[in-house]
Amino acid sequence: MTAIAVQTSPDDIKHLKELFLAIDKNGDGSLTFQEIEQGLKDLNIANREQLLINMREADTDGSGELDYTEFIAACLDEKLYLNEKYLKAAFDMFDKDGSGMIDNDEVIELLQGDQLDGIISKSAINEAMKEIDKNGDGEIDFEEFKLMMKMC
């Protein structure tokens, strides 16, 4: 979701940016879960409980706060994160060698260079790859990637 969040057009997420700014009362650019909970309540946002669950899951660096990108990733609706253009751009972020396939090494390389280093183990990545790799060829093609995103 984070890979898609960074690809989205500012016009497509304008409402989410406005929501982030409305909740970020102190203007520090990150949101504690207390700020989020209070902000969603103050703004009378529907489905608050599900949003809070999504946001806790989006705290990929385990900081206890959400930065802007994590917040956007948590709030993306299905029509955005299943947009073919954004899916392809996210897929290409992982497909470092441009082969049209994502292998374990590419996922590990991307995640170890990210804020997830030390949070997600190589064995967890390997297990996730096996679940996503429906045809068992050891790599994820774009169709398998799309299927995975539909299950999110």
DSSP 20-66: HHHH-TT-SSEEEHHHHHHHHHHTT-TTHHHHHHHHHHH-TT-SSEE
Report the Cα–Cα distance between both ends of the chain, in Å, rounded: 9
Q: What are 2-17's pLDDT values in tens digits? A: 888 888 899 999 999 9
Domain shared by 12 and 71, yes or no: yes
Q: Identify the pLDDT of residue 116.
A: 52
Residue 113 pLDDT: 57
* Residues of the domain holding 52: 2-80
Residues 52 and 116 in one domain: no
Instruction: Give how many domains the chain has, as a whole number.
Output: 2
* φ/ψ of residue 28, rounded to 5: -90, 0
Indicate whether 31 and 93 sit together in one domain: no
> What pLDDT was estimated at residue 124?
79
Shared-domain flag, residues 89 and 66: no
Q: What residues in the chain have per-residue pLDDT under 70? A: 112-120, 152
Distance, C-alpha 56 to centroid of its chain? 12
Residues 34 and 60 in one domain: yes
pLDDT value of position 119: 61
39 and 100 belong to one structural domain: no
